[in-house]
């Protein structure tokens, strides 16, 4: 009986003689498979049309291995001190924290209006369309737009990340709110509770762990974006030093050390995120 339940009814066709013909897959699967095959064939075909003039494979491989060895096995600081390095890392973390905190606060209020079980349909749809448009534009492009409007600096980086963080968290928060048990909301409404009373006593206690998880996930994203925007938007931080070491000084040892620093911070953030989920959201970890 369980096998019968798992069969997609759209794949079952009855023949004229009463027999049942079960076909595996559907049109969507076929389109996806053909798309993958075509893209794979075009990728392989492209290698035959590359201009390999002057390319020395053996020399290229040896120099690449040498650069990787210098970068990751001989890391060193040459153009700034350890104190300056920690300071630049702090700037990058600060950019991510500011964009995340302000984004989460603004997104919380907008998500209450975007949730269909708390707001009017036309308000919910209007906000969803607006944040969908913002999400469609990459964070890097928003940062560059604000860099043109506000000038190069940390302000442009924070505003660009903030703009995209709000749109990202509004979608996540509103979906978490819509998954709240409707019985809780109806019970509070039946007692004459106001809209804010429902939010404070019904919505927030049921969705706090979801909000915490999504906010920290967005902070991890903002940290990586802040590294990239250190040079693009002139925001400074460890990303700017990485750009200078790789594109201006061409110091592979310094590039390797900065890469290790970014990797260590990413691991620390992942450990903190896991511990928060274990403490406040244990059901998601077990799943």
Counts for the chain of helices (H) and strands (E), in that order: 13, 2
- What is Dmax (Cα atoms) for the chain? 83
Same domain, 34 and 98: no
Query: What H or E segment, with its residue span, contains residue 21?
Result: strand 20-22
Per-residue pLDDT tens digits for 237-283: 888 888 888 877 888 888 888 889 888 988 888 888 778 777 765 55
86: its two tokens: 């920690």
Rg (CA), the chain: 26
Phi first, then psi: what are they for 22, rounded to 5°? -105, 120
Q: Are both 22 and 108 inside the same structural domain?
A: no
Is the four-CA dihedral 231, 257, 93, 227 of positive or negative sign? positive
Q: Domain for residue 186, yes or no?
A: yes
Has this prediction a pTM greater than 0.85? no
33 and 119 assigned to the same domain = no
Task: Give how far Cα 203 sits from Cα of 2, 50, 111, 200, 211, Å.
Answer: 36, 57, 11, 6, 11
Per the domain annotation, does 56 fall within a domain? no
What are the CA-CA distances from residue 69 to residues 15, 16, 114 (Å)?
66, 69, 51
Q: Are residues 39 and 165 in the same domain?
A: no
275 belongs to a structural domain: yes
pLDDT, tens digit only, all 287 positions of the chain: 444 444 444 445 555 555 555 555 577 788 888 999 999 999 998 888 887 777 778 888 888 899 888 888 888 887 778 888 888 888 889 888 999 999 999 999 999 899 888 888 889 899 999 999 988 888 888 888 887 877 777 788 888 889 899 999 999 999 889 888 888 888 888 888 888 888 888 888 888 888 888 898 899 888 888 888 777 766 778 888 888 888 778 888 888 888 898 889 888 888 887 787 777 655 544 43
User: Does residue 232 share a domain with residue 104?
Assistant: yes
CATH of the domain at 132: 1.10.3720.10
For residue 58, being part of any structural domain is answered with: no
Structural domain includes residue 70: no
- Tell me the pLDDT tens digit for each residue of 217-245: 899 888 888 888 777 766 778 888 888 88
On whether residue 164 sits in a domain, the answer given is: yes
Q: In which domain, by residue range, is 234 found? A: 81-286
Q: Please count the structural domains in the chain.
A: 2
In a domain, residue 141? The reply is yes
Rounded distance between C-alpha atoms, residue 98 and residue 96, angstroms: 6
For residue 142, the SS3 value is helix
- The Cα–Cα gap between 169 and 113 comes to 13
15 and 127 fall within a common domain: no
Region of 12 (left: φ > 0; alpha: ψ -120 to 50; beta: rest) is beta
Tokens 């998954």, located at residue: 179
Q: Are residues 156 and 25 in the same domain?
A: no
Cα gap 206→71, rounded to integer Å: 48
| Rounded CA separation 212/32 (Å) | 35
What Å distances lie between residue 201 and 206, 209, 249, CA to CA?
Answer: 9, 15, 57
Residue 36 maps to a domain: yes
């Amino acid at each position: 009986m369980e096998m019968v339940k798992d069969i997609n009814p759209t794949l079952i066709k009855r023949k004229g003689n009463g027999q049942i013909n079960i076909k595996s897959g559907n049109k969507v699967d076929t389109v996806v498979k053909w798309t993958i095959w075509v893209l794979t064939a075009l990728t392989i075909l492209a290698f035959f049309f590359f201009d390999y003039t002057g390319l020395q494979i053996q020399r290229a491989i040896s120099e690449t291995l040498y650069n990787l060895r210098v970068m990751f096995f001989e890391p060193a600081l040459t153009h700034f001190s350890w104190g300056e390095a920690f300071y630049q890392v702090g700037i990058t973390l600060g950019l991510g924290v500011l964009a995340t905190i302000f984004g989460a606060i603004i997104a919380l209020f907008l998500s209450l209006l975007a949730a269909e079980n708390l707001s009017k349909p036309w308000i919910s749809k209007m906000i969803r369309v607006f944040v969908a448009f913002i999400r469609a534009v990459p964070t890097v492009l928003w940062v560059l737009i604000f860099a043109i409007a506000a000038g190069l600096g940390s302000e442009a980086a924070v505003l660009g990340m903030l703009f995209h963080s709000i749109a990202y968290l509004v979608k996540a928060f509103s979906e978490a709110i819509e998954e709240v048990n409707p019985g809780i909301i109806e019970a509070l409404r039946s007692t004459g509770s106001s809209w804010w009373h429902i939010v404070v006593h019904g919505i927030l206690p049921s969705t706090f762990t979801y909000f915490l998880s999504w906010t920290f996930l967005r902070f991890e994203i903002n940290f990586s974006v802040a590294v990239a925007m250190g040079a693009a938007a002139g925001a400074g931080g460890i990303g700017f030093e990485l750009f200078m070491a790789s594109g201006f000084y061409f110091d592979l040892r310094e590039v390797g050390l900065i890469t290790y620093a970014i990797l260590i911070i990413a691991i620390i953030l992942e450990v903190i995120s896991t511990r928060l989920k274990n403490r406040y959201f244990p059901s998601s970890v077990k799943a």
